[in-house]
Amino acid sequence: MLIRYFFLSMIIFGSYSFVEDWNSDKLFVEWNTSTLASIEVAKAHGESEYERFLLQDAGEAMVVFWEIEDSAVNSNSIRYQFLETVRNENVYDEREWKVVEEVRPGQVMKYFNFLFIPAKKGTYRVIKYRYLNGEWQKIGEKNVALNKKDFSDAHLRKPYETVITSKKTTVSQFSRMKVKSSEFYLQTTFSDRSDLSKVLESLF
């Protein structure tokens, strides 16, 4: 009888044994590989030599700042540190979570990460972090009205336009402990008319 109840509870509530354990090393490598591949695709489709140059330059800069290589694990990387922050704070939904990274230019470069976790239908809980003094510091959180499609490349990417400043944005989607996608954007290829862009500009 006890065995029957055990298996019944597994069917109804699910079993943790079917949920892949958190693995920062694996996620880190997948994340980097996906982002670097996105930059290469953007370069291949760049409409001008200058756009391709900017993508090449941005890609090289991100590799240095993130301290990443395609298949190498670096626990000192700010990306790895962010994964550990998410894991330690247990602020993610194993089925779906998203990370938007922003690098904002200026006299002092500013680095922000936004963690999006599904809340009720049509709503995400977003937590904003800033990288300061060698660590990711939580700034605040709130619920925002967004849908899955608002994170898709089709809704976010637009043709390149010349601009003086160059904020860089990466939109990454995770599910079942895997990286589904990680799209890299120059400032003017990230649509400022998208719902996601408007949410990012309005936060905190």
87: exposed, middle or buried (Cβ count in 10 Å: 0-12, 13-18, 19+): middle
pLDDT at 21: 86
Predicted confidence at residue 163, as pLDDT, reads 67
The overall pTM is greater than 0.75: yes
**What was the pLDDT predicted at 1?**
53
pLDDT at residue 188, rounded to an integer:
86
Q: Is 13 left (phi over 0), alpha (psi -120 to 50) or beta?
A: alpha
pLDDT at 108: 85
Beta bridge partners of 114: 100, 128
For the chain, the straight-line distance linking the first and the last C-alpha, in angstroms and rounded, comes to 54
HEC sequence for the chain: CHHHHHHHHHHHHCCHHHCCCCCHHHHHHHHHHHHHHHHHHHHHCCCCHHHHHHHHHHHHHHHHHHCCECCECCCCCHHHHHHHHHHHHCCCCCCCEEEEEEEECCCCCEEEEEEEEECCCCEEEEEEEEEECCEEEEEEEEEEECCHHHHCHHHHECCCCCCCCCCEEEEEEEECCEEEEEEEECHHHECCCCHHHHHHHHCC
pLDDT digits (tens, 9 = 90+) for 130-188: 999 999 999 999 999 999 999 999 999 999 887 666 789 999 999 988 999 999 999 88
pLDDT at 138: 96
Task: Domain ranges for the chain, please list them.
Answer: 22-202
Residue 142's pLDDT is: 95
Going from the first residue of the chain to its last (204 residues), give the mean pLDDT of each consecutive group of 10, the final group possibly shorter.
46 44 94 95 91 91 84 93 94 90 87 95 96 95 96 94 79 94 93 94 82
